[in-house]
Protein backbone atom coordinates (compact mmCIF):
# COMPACT_ATOMS: atom_id res chain seq x y z
CA UNK A 1 0.00 0.00 0.00
CA UNK A 2 2.97 2.34 0.39
CA UNK A 3 3.79 5.00 -2.20
CA UNK A 4 0.54 4.39 -4.07
CA UNK A 5 -2.84 6.07 -3.93
CA UNK A 6 -5.85 3.79 -3.74
CA UNK A 7 -9.58 4.23 -3.54
CA UNK A 8 -10.51 2.53 -0.29
CA UNK A 9 -13.91 1.97 1.32
CA UNK A 10 -13.74 1.91 5.12
CA UNK A 11 -16.47 0.03 6.96
CA UNK A 12 -17.20 2.48 9.77
CA UNK A 13 -19.05 1.07 12.76
CA UNK A 14 -18.97 4.27 14.78
CA UNK A 15 -16.24 2.92 17.06
CA UNK A 16 -12.71 4.13 17.67
CA UNK A 17 -10.97 1.34 15.72
CA UNK A 18 -12.66 1.85 12.35
CA UNK A 19 -12.52 5.62 12.81
CA UNK A 20 -8.75 5.54 13.30
CA UNK A 21 -8.44 3.14 10.36
CA UNK A 22 -10.11 5.76 8.15
CA UNK A 23 -7.94 8.54 9.57
CA UNK A 24 -4.71 6.63 8.97
CA UNK A 25 -5.62 5.85 5.36
CA UNK A 26 -6.60 9.46 4.73
CA UNK A 27 -3.31 10.62 6.24
CA UNK A 28 -1.44 8.29 3.86
CA UNK A 29 -3.08 10.10 0.97
CA UNK A 30 -5.61 7.52 -0.16
CA UNK A 31 -9.03 8.30 -1.61
CA UNK A 32 -11.14 7.20 1.36
CA UNK A 33 -14.90 6.60 1.43
CA UNK A 34 -16.71 5.84 4.68
CA UNK A 35 -19.64 3.43 4.70
CA UNK A 36 -21.79 2.24 7.57
CA UNK A 37 -23.90 -0.83 7.01
CA UNK A 38 -27.47 -0.45 8.19
CA UNK A 39 -28.13 -3.96 9.45
CA UNK A 40 -30.31 -3.42 12.47
CA UNK A 41 -33.91 -3.72 11.21
CA UNK A 42 -35.57 -2.11 14.21
CA UNK A 43 -33.19 0.83 14.22
CA UNK A 44 -33.14 1.51 17.97
CA UNK A 45 -31.08 4.21 19.58
CA UNK A 46 -28.87 1.88 21.58
CA UNK A 47 -25.15 2.48 21.35
CA UNK A 48 -24.10 -0.66 19.50
CA UNK A 49 -22.40 -1.53 16.25
CA UNK A 50 -24.26 0.08 13.34
CA UNK A 51 -27.05 1.47 15.56
CA UNK A 52 -28.48 4.94 14.95
CA UNK A 53 -26.15 6.51 17.51
CA UNK A 54 -23.21 4.65 15.98
CA UNK A 55 -24.17 6.01 12.56
CA UNK A 56 -24.09 9.54 13.94
CA UNK A 57 -20.67 8.95 15.51
CA UNK A 58 -19.34 7.61 12.20
CA UNK A 59 -20.83 10.56 10.31
CA UNK A 60 -19.13 13.04 12.62
CA UNK A 61 -15.80 11.27 12.14
CA UNK A 62 -16.23 11.35 8.37
CA UNK A 63 -17.02 15.07 8.50
CA UNK A 64 -13.93 15.66 10.64
CA UNK A 65 -11.77 13.75 8.15
CA UNK A 66 -13.51 15.41 5.19
CA UNK A 67 -14.29 12.14 3.44
CA UNK A 68 -17.47 11.05 1.63
CA UNK A 69 -19.78 9.03 3.87
CA UNK A 70 -22.76 6.81 3.10
CA UNK A 71 -25.15 4.55 4.99
CA UNK A 72 -26.09 1.46 3.00
CA UNK A 73 -28.98 -0.88 3.73
CA UNK A 74 -27.89 -4.46 4.39
CA UNK A 75 -30.87 -5.42 6.54
CA UNK A 76 -32.16 -8.26 4.40
CA UNK A 77 -28.83 -10.03 3.85
CA UNK A 78 -28.03 -9.59 7.55
CA UNK A 79 -31.38 -11.08 8.53
CA UNK A 80 -31.01 -14.04 6.16
CA UNK A 81 -27.40 -14.94 6.90
CA UNK A 82 -26.95 -13.88 10.53
CA UNK A 83 -30.20 -13.44 12.47
CA UNK A 84 -32.11 -16.35 10.92
CA UNK A 85 -29.08 -18.62 11.32
CA UNK A 86 -28.66 -17.49 14.93
CA UNK A 87 -32.25 -18.40 15.76
CA UNK A 88 -32.12 -21.69 13.86
CA UNK A 89 -28.89 -22.80 15.54
CA UNK A 90 -30.15 -22.00 19.02
CA UNK A 91 -33.35 -23.90 18.28
CA UNK A 92 -31.12 -26.87 17.38
CA UNK A 93 -29.39 -26.65 20.75
CA UNK A 94 -26.23 -25.03 19.37
CA UNK A 95 -24.47 -21.77 20.18
CA UNK A 96 -23.47 -19.90 17.00
CA UNK A 97 -21.10 -16.95 16.69
CA UNK A 98 -22.94 -14.20 14.77
CA UNK A 99 -19.79 -12.08 14.30
CA UNK A 100 -18.13 -14.84 12.26
CA UNK A 101 -21.10 -15.05 9.89
CA UNK A 102 -21.44 -11.27 9.67
CA UNK A 103 -17.82 -11.00 8.58
CA UNK A 104 -18.18 -13.82 6.08
CA UNK A 105 -21.49 -12.96 4.44
CA UNK A 106 -22.06 -9.27 5.08
CA UNK A 107 -18.83 -7.30 5.56
CA UNK A 108 -16.56 -9.29 3.28
CA UNK A 109 -19.09 -10.51 0.74
CA UNK A 110 -22.09 -8.23 0.32
CA UNK A 111 -20.17 -5.07 1.22
CA UNK A 112 -17.19 -6.13 -0.87
CA UNK A 113 -19.51 -6.31 -3.90
CA UNK A 114 -20.56 -2.72 -3.19
CA UNK A 115 -16.88 -1.78 -2.98
CA UNK A 116 -16.30 -3.18 -6.45
CA UNK A 117 -19.37 -1.36 -7.77
CA UNK A 118 -17.97 1.91 -6.46
CA UNK A 119 -14.75 1.28 -8.34
CA UNK A 120 -12.75 1.02 -5.13
CA UNK A 121 -9.57 -1.00 -4.86
CA UNK A 122 -9.89 -2.21 -1.29
CA UNK A 123 -12.08 -2.46 1.77
CA UNK A 124 -10.69 -1.56 5.20
CA UNK A 125 -12.01 -2.29 8.67
CA UNK A 126 -10.92 -1.67 12.24
CA UNK A 127 -10.19 -5.32 13.01
CA UNK A 128 -7.02 -6.16 14.93
CA UNK A 129 -5.53 -8.53 12.37
CA UNK A 130 -3.09 -8.46 9.44
CA UNK A 131 -3.03 -9.63 5.83
CA UNK A 132 0.21 -10.56 4.10
CA UNK A 133 1.04 -12.15 0.76
CA UNK A 134 3.43 -15.10 0.68
CA UNK A 135 4.18 -17.65 -2.05
CA UNK A 136 1.25 -16.52 -4.14
CA UNK A 137 -1.26 -16.80 -1.29
CA UNK A 138 -2.83 -14.25 1.03
CA UNK A 139 -2.26 -15.01 4.70
CA UNK A 140 -4.40 -13.91 7.62
CA UNK A 141 -2.31 -13.20 10.71
CA UNK A 142 -2.91 -12.16 14.29
CA UNK A 143 -2.86 -8.50 15.24
CA UNK A 144 0.10 -7.53 17.40
CA UNK A 145 -2.11 -6.67 20.38
CA UNK A 146 -2.67 -10.13 21.86
CA UNK A 147 -5.52 -8.89 24.03
CA UNK A 148 -7.40 -7.44 21.04
CA UNK A 149 -6.48 -9.86 18.24
CA UNK A 150 -9.61 -10.57 16.15
CA UNK A 151 -8.25 -13.02 13.60
CA UNK A 152 -10.49 -15.69 15.18
CA UNK A 153 -13.56 -13.91 13.76
CA UNK A 154 -12.03 -13.64 10.28
CA UNK A 155 -10.94 -17.22 9.49
CA UNK A 156 -13.81 -17.69 7.02
CA UNK A 157 -12.56 -14.99 4.61
CA UNK A 158 -11.80 -16.18 1.10
CA UNK A 159 -8.60 -15.48 -0.82
CA UNK A 160 -10.57 -13.01 -2.94
CA UNK A 161 -11.72 -11.13 0.16
CA UNK A 162 -8.25 -11.13 1.72
CA UNK A 163 -6.73 -9.81 -1.51
CA UNK A 164 -8.90 -6.70 -1.25
CA UNK A 165 -8.82 -6.20 2.53
CA UNK A 166 -6.73 -3.85 4.66
CA UNK A 167 -6.53 -3.81 8.46
CA UNK A 168 -4.88 -0.45 9.27
CA UNK A 169 -4.82 -0.98 13.06
CA UNK A 170 -3.46 -4.53 12.95
CA UNK A 171 0.03 -3.34 13.82
CA UNK A 172 -1.18 -1.19 16.71
CA UNK A 173 -2.26 -1.77 20.28
CA UNK A 174 -5.61 -0.53 21.55
CA UNK A 175 -3.81 2.08 23.64
CA UNK A 176 -2.01 3.36 20.56
CA UNK A 177 -5.28 3.50 18.63
CA UNK A 178 -6.90 5.65 21.30
CA UNK A 179 -3.89 7.98 21.35
CA UNK A 180 -4.16 8.35 17.58
CA UNK A 181 -7.88 9.09 17.86
CA UNK A 182 -7.03 11.95 20.22
CA UNK A 183 -4.28 13.12 17.87
CA UNK A 184 -6.79 13.23 15.01
CA UNK A 185 -9.30 14.91 17.38
CA UNK A 186 -11.98 12.29 16.75
CA UNK A 187 -15.11 12.41 18.88
CA UNK A 188 -14.91 8.64 19.55
CA UNK A 189 -11.44 8.65 21.16
CA UNK A 190 -12.77 7.58 24.56
CA UNK A 191 -15.82 5.66 23.38
CA UNK A 192 -16.33 2.37 25.20
CA UNK A 193 -16.74 -0.87 23.28
CA UNK A 194 -20.06 -2.68 23.10
CA UNK A 195 -19.97 -6.30 24.23
CA UNK A 196 -23.57 -7.01 23.28
CA UNK A 197 -24.97 -8.88 20.30
CA UNK A 198 -25.97 -6.02 18.03
CA UNK A 199 -29.41 -7.36 17.05
CA UNK A 200 -30.50 -8.48 20.53
CA UNK A 201 -32.31 -5.63 22.25
CA UNK A 202 -33.43 -6.78 25.66
CA UNK A 203 -33.34 -10.51 26.45
CA UNK A 204 -32.09 -13.14 24.02
CA UNK A 205 -35.17 -15.11 25.04
CA UNK A 206 -37.33 -12.63 23.13
CA UNK A 207 -36.11 -14.25 19.89
CA UNK A 208 -37.55 -17.67 20.73
CA UNK A 209 -40.68 -19.51 21.70
CA UNK A 210 -39.56 -20.76 25.08
CA UNK A 211 -40.99 -23.83 26.76
CA UNK A 212 -40.09 -25.13 30.20
CA UNK A 213 -38.55 -28.59 30.44
CA UNK A 214 -36.62 -30.95 32.66
CA UNK A 215 -33.10 -30.52 33.95
CA UNK A 216 -31.51 -33.91 34.58
CA UNK A 217 -28.20 -35.07 35.98
CA UNK A 218 -25.75 -37.42 34.25
CA UNK A 219 -27.60 -40.45 35.62
CA UNK A 220 -30.88 -39.26 34.10
CA UNK A 221 -32.52 -38.15 37.34
CA UNK A 222 -34.78 -35.09 37.08
CA UNK A 223 -33.38 -32.44 39.39
CA UNK A 224 -35.06 -29.26 38.21
CA UNK A 225 -36.86 -27.29 35.51
CA UNK A 226 -35.33 -25.02 32.88
CA UNK A 227 -36.98 -21.92 31.41
CA UNK A 228 -36.31 -22.84 27.78
CA UNK A 229 -33.32 -24.75 26.45
CA UNK A 230 -32.40 -21.90 24.08
CA UNK A 231 -31.37 -19.84 27.11
CA UNK A 232 -28.51 -22.21 27.94
CA UNK A 233 -25.17 -23.14 26.47
CA UNK A 234 -22.62 -25.89 27.05
CA UNK A 235 -20.46 -25.17 30.09
CA UNK A 236 -22.90 -22.67 31.59
CA UNK A 237 -22.79 -22.61 35.39
CA UNK A 238 -24.84 -19.64 36.53
CA UNK A 239 -28.58 -19.23 36.28
CA UNK A 240 -29.39 -22.95 36.28
CA UNK A 241 -31.86 -22.67 39.14
CA UNK A 242 -30.97 -26.03 40.69
CA UNK A 243 -29.45 -27.11 43.98
CA UNK A 244 -26.56 -29.59 44.02
CA UNK A 245 -23.74 -30.15 46.47
CA UNK A 246 -21.16 -29.63 43.72
CA UNK A 247 -20.95 -26.80 41.16
CA UNK A 248 -23.10 -27.74 38.16
CA UNK A 249 -22.45 -27.13 34.47
CA UNK A 250 -24.60 -27.65 31.39
CA UNK A 251 -23.21 -30.79 29.75
CA UNK A 252 -25.82 -31.49 27.07
CA UNK A 253 -28.76 -29.78 25.41
CA UNK A 254 -31.43 -31.99 23.82
CA UNK A 255 -33.94 -29.92 21.79
CA UNK A 256 -36.04 -32.97 20.81
CA UNK A 257 -36.64 -33.90 24.43
CA UNK A 258 -36.63 -30.26 25.58
CA UNK A 259 -34.12 -31.39 28.17
CA UNK A 260 -30.88 -30.13 29.67
CA UNK A 261 -28.28 -32.35 31.29
CA UNK A 262 -25.98 -30.97 33.97
CA UNK A 263 -22.92 -32.48 35.55
CA UNK A 264 -19.60 -31.80 37.21
CA UNK A 265 -16.86 -29.85 35.46
CA UNK A 266 -15.22 -33.08 34.33
CA UNK A 267 -18.43 -34.04 32.54
CA UNK A 268 -18.05 -30.95 30.35
CA UNK A 269 -14.46 -31.62 29.27
CA UNK A 270 -13.38 -33.51 26.16
CA UNK A 271 -10.28 -34.06 24.05
CA UNK A 272 -11.89 -34.43 20.61
CA UNK A 273 -14.31 -32.64 18.33
CA UNK A 274 -15.58 -32.87 14.78
CA UNK A 275 -15.99 -29.78 12.63
CA UNK A 276 -17.47 -28.92 9.23
CA UNK A 277 -18.14 -25.84 7.08
CA UNK A 278 -14.38 -25.55 6.71
CA UNK A 279 -12.27 -22.76 5.25
CA UNK A 280 -8.53 -23.11 4.76
CA UNK A 281 -6.55 -19.88 4.65
CA UNK A 282 -2.84 -20.61 4.68
CA UNK A 283 -3.10 -23.89 2.75
CA UNK A 284 -4.59 -24.40 -0.70
CA UNK A 285 -6.47 -27.61 0.06
CA UNK A 286 -7.61 -29.73 2.96
CA UNK A 287 -4.50 -30.43 5.00
CA UNK A 288 -3.04 -33.83 5.70
CA UNK A 289 -2.86 -34.67 9.41
CA UNK A 290 -1.07 -31.72 10.97
CA UNK A 291 -0.32 -30.22 14.35
CA UNK A 292 -1.77 -26.81 15.16
CA UNK A 293 -2.78 -24.52 17.97
CA UNK A 294 -6.58 -24.62 18.08
CA UNK A 295 -8.99 -22.15 19.68
CA UNK A 296 -12.54 -23.33 20.39
CA UNK A 297 -13.82 -19.84 21.24
CA UNK A 298 -12.54 -16.30 20.97
CA UNK A 299 -11.87 -15.56 24.63
CA UNK A 300 -9.87 -18.69 25.43
CA UNK A 301 -6.19 -19.41 24.76
CA UNK A 302 -5.25 -21.86 22.04
CA UNK A 303 -4.27 -25.43 22.79
CA UNK A 304 -2.05 -27.96 21.01
CA UNK A 305 -4.08 -30.21 18.74
CA UNK A 306 -3.91 -32.47 15.70
CA UNK A 307 -6.17 -32.14 12.66
CA UNK A 308 -7.27 -35.36 10.99
CA UNK A 309 -9.33 -35.13 7.76
CA UNK A 310 -12.43 -37.35 7.84
CA UNK A 311 -13.71 -36.27 4.42
CA UNK A 312 -13.61 -33.20 2.18
CA UNK A 313 -16.23 -31.61 4.39
CA UNK A 314 -15.28 -32.76 7.88
CA UNK A 315 -12.29 -33.06 10.19
CA UNK A 316 -11.56 -34.50 13.61
CA UNK A 317 -9.53 -32.43 16.04
CA UNK A 318 -7.72 -34.16 18.90
CA UNK A 319 -6.37 -32.04 21.75
CA UNK A 320 -3.33 -32.86 23.82
CA UNK A 321 -5.10 -31.47 26.89
CA UNK A 322 -8.88 -31.91 27.40
CA UNK A 323 -10.86 -28.76 26.64
CA UNK A 324 -13.65 -27.28 28.73
CA UNK A 325 -17.06 -26.86 27.09
CA UNK A 326 -16.52 -27.84 23.45
CA UNK A 327 -19.67 -26.20 22.09
CA UNK A 328 -21.47 -27.16 18.85
CA UNK A 329 -22.12 -24.08 16.73
CA UNK A 330 -19.00 -22.25 17.84
CA UNK A 331 -15.98 -21.91 15.57
CA UNK A 332 -12.71 -23.78 15.99
CA UNK A 333 -9.81 -21.85 14.48
CA UNK A 334 -6.33 -23.22 13.80
CA UNK A 335 -3.03 -21.37 14.07
CA UNK A 336 0.57 -21.95 13.09
CA UNK A 337 2.31 -19.31 15.17
CA UNK A 338 0.54 -16.07 14.30
CA UNK A 339 -0.78 -17.41 10.96
CA UNK A 340 -4.39 -18.56 10.65
CA UNK A 341 -4.33 -22.00 9.04
CA UNK A 342 -8.12 -22.18 8.77
CA UNK A 343 -11.15 -23.11 10.76
CA UNK A 344 -14.66 -24.50 10.81
CA UNK A 345 -17.87 -24.90 12.80
CA UNK A 346 -17.89 -27.36 15.70
CA UNK A 347 -20.45 -30.10 15.10
CA UNK A 348 -19.83 -32.31 18.11
CA UNK A 349 -17.38 -33.03 20.90
CA UNK A 350 -16.77 -36.11 23.00
CA UNK A 351 -17.46 -36.06 26.72
**Catalytic positions, please?**
102, 198
User: Which 3 state secondary structure label does DSSP give 314?
Assistant: coil
Q: Which of 123, 100, 119, 121 is nearest to 111 (CA)?
A: 123
Q: CA 94, CA 86: separation in Å to the nearest integer?
A: 9
Q: CA 106, CA 189: separation in Å to the nearest integer?
A: 26
Which residues on neighbouring strands pair with residue 285, listed in sequence order?
none
Q: CA 164, CA 323: separation in Å to the nearest integer?
A: 36
Alpha helices (H) in the chain, listed in sequence order: 16-27, 52-65, 75-78, 84-91, 98-101, 111-117, 159-163, 174-183
| Residues 6+ away with beta carbon under 8 Å from 36 | 11, 12, 13, 14, 50, 54, 55, 58, 59, 69, 70, 71, 72
Q: CA 8, CA 101: separation in Å to the nearest integer?
A: 23
Q: With contact defined as beta carbons under 8 Å apart, do 97 and 330 qualify?
A: yes
Amino acid sequence: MKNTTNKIVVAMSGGVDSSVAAALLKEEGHDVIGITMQIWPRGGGHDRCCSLSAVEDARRVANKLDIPYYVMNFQEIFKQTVIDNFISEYNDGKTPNPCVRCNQYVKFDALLKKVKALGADHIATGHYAKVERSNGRYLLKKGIDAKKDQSYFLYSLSQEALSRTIFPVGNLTKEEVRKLAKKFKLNVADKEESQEICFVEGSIGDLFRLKKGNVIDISGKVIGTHKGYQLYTIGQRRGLGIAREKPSYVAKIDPKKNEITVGDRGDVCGDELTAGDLNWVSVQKDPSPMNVIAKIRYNTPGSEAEILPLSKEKIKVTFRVPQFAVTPGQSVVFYDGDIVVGGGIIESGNR
